[in-house]
Amino acid sequence: MSSLLVVKFVSREEKPSLQSFSTGFENNCRSSRNDTAMDVNQIRRYHVQRKRLYRTATAMKVSRLLLALASFLTSWPCTGAFQPRRPPFAKSVHVSSNSARKTIRDRIARRAIARNIATRPKTYTSRPKTALLAVPAISVPAPGTFYMILLAVQFASQPLLTKRYAPPTIIRSTYVLAQDLFRMFTCVTLLIITGSWHSATASWKWSSAAVAAGLPALLYAVQNYCSLVAYQNLPPITYNVLNQTKTLSAAVCCYFLLRQRQSPYQIVALGVLLVAALVMESILPLPGIGKPQDPTLAGTATEKHKDHTASIDTDQKGVHWASGVLPVLAASGISGLAGALAQKSLQVQERNSFLFSGELAAISAVSLLISSLLGSPDGRRIRKEGWTKGWTWQTWIPLATNAAGGILVGLVTKHAGSVRKGFALIIGMFLSGVLQNVVGSERQVTSQQWAGGSLAALSLWLYTAYPMV
């Protein structure tokens, strides 16, 4: 504290007047206008004195700043358990050093007497002894970062897990039905854990649930069926990129149903997303990508593994479009429409989010059961081959990861925000390409697909980072 108080305080009487000096000099100049020209030495002396005055004024300002800093530091609470809180300095800074020290001593004494600090017994607490070689603490990441990592891994691995453990031999309606039942069980469990079961179901009625979640639940049932077909017939990175077109459909449906506009950056992002889908399917080939003379690593990979859509014959290409591309695009469009309808119904009547998700899953499961009983193609297969045709215990793995993905999306949005959720999905998109290259049964990712994935990641970042204000 002594180092801060070693400041030369200047009283108001000793404060030089720059204005008076300048005024006097100007008066002298006016009186000598009719005389000969001003002497050069007189002008130099004027500038020298003016610089001295400026230096003195600057020194005074610095001393005031140091004095204010000293008062702030002395008013900061002490770390000791029995040390008093030091009072700040006087408000006026134009005081001498002796009067400032005397003021500080008087105020400290008055505060000490008022708080009975002088007579308070001093108690000391012994500090715990630390070992010389202490084990460093393991830094656990924040919940938002941890949930983002889990969401990226789930987003990247979901297509691979579904394609491997839910083969085309399985009856798709039974898989979607089990998915809805699993989701409904998860929502009920979360309602009970969070303690909002009684408040959410106090005034619950079947009629209100059917009105709020009826049409969106039917659309979600069709979407889940189309998504399963696309999972079984598309490479992971292709599915993840094309599945992002649900953002485009959601924006269009929200605009027409809810009059919800998009920012200019979001409109550009939707255009980039459409270009990414076209590049991914080689409808819009990029110049210089995928050619044999490409010296990059992508060009080398293209020499070994030809383009995804050019290497298959016409029949396989038709199957690729009919059983892969069109189902995922249909699922994305239905997802946007169902999401807009669900948002509109939630705006009309407020409902618990877990309860609403459980209602969607329950109505979707009931609709699948009714369609199976009424003689749908899957219903005829169920009556002929049974409900568990093609099922193994491993089939429950993609069901569990899919349900966990929905929970992780909510946790990431809550703890990290929607922008960081977009970053997690971008990381998951590139991670799905890496996993596709690692898994031997999958086709290697081409440079055209990497370019489409990069454009989709750019559009996702633009859409989440620049929302409509």
pLDDT of residue 100: 62
Q: How far is CA 211 from CA 207, 357, 386, in A?
A: 6, 14, 33
At a CB cut-off of 8 Å and minimum separation 6, what does 217 contact? 359, 360, 361, 362, 363, 364, 367
Tens digit of each residue's pLDDT (9 = 90 or more) over 378-426: 888 888 888 888 888 899 999 999 888 888 887 787 777 777 777 888 8
Confidence of residue 219 (pLDDT cuts 50, 70, 90): very high
| More confident call, 33 vs 255 | 255
CB 337 within 8 A of CB 219: yes
Q: Which two tokens stand for residue 442?
A: 């999958």
Nearest by Cα to 161 from 368, 402, 450: 402
The predicted model gives 171-181 an average pLDDT of 90
In the chain, the percentage of residues whose pLDDT exceeds 70 is: 67
**SS3 of residue 13 by DSSP:** coil
Distance CA 373, CA 277 (A): 38
* Lookup result for tokens 């084990």: 135
pLDDT tens digits along 294-318: 444 344 444 444 454 444 456 666 7
Question: What pLDDT was estimated at residue 405?
Answer: 86
pLDDT digits (tens, 9 = 90+) for 145-166: 888 889 889 998 999 999 889 8
Q: Residue 114: which pLDDT band, with cuts at 50, 70 and 90?
A: low
What's residue 432's pLDDT?
87
- Residue 330: the pLDDT is 92
Of 88-102, 216-230, 249-263, the least confident: 88-102
The share of the chain scoring above pLDDT 90, in percent, equals: 7
Q: How many CB atoms lie under 10 A from the CB of residue 315?
A: 8
The overall pTM is greater than 0.75: no
Is the pLDDT assigned to residue 217 strictly greater than 60? yes
Closest by CA position to 171, among listed 420, 378, 428, 462? 378
The mean pLDDT value for 453-468 works out to 85
DSSP 8-state assignment for residue 132 = S
pLDDT digits 0-9 by tens, 12-35: 444 444 455 555 555 555 555 444
The CB-side HSE value for 451 (13 A sphere, CA atoms) comes to 22
Return the pLDDT at 218: 92
d(CA 188, CA 358): 7
How buried is 26 (Cβ within 10 angstroms: 0-12 exposed, 13-18 middle, 19+ buried)? exposed
pLDDT band at 91 (very low <50, low <70, confident <90, very high): very low
Query: What's the mean per-residue pLDDT of the chain?
Result: 74
Q: What is the distance between the alpha carbons of residues 360 and 180, in angstroms, rounded to a whole number? A: 8
How far, in Å, CA of 94 to CA of 63, rounded?
10
Least trusted range by pLDDT, from 102-116, 146-160, 425-439: 102-116
Which residues fall within 8 angstroms of residue 135, CB to CB, at 6 or more apart? none
More confident residue, 356 or 95: 356
Burial of 407 (0-12, 13-18, 19+ CB in 10 A): middle
User: Which band of pLDDT confidence, cut at 50, 70 and 90, is reported for residue 343?
Assistant: confident
Q: What is the pLDDT of residues 49-80, one digit of tens each?
A: 877 787 777 777 767 776 776 665 555 444 44
Q: How confident is the model at residue 329 (pLDDT cuts 50, 70, 90)?
A: very high
Rounded Cα gap, residues 377 and 171, in angstroms = 10
Q: Which two tokens stand for residue 207?
A: 């009629």
- Answer yes or no: is pLDDT of 239 > 60: yes
Angular region, 356: left φ>0, alpha ψ -120 to 50, beta rest: alpha
Q: What is the dihedral of CA 360, 362, 365, 367, to 10 degrees?
A: -70
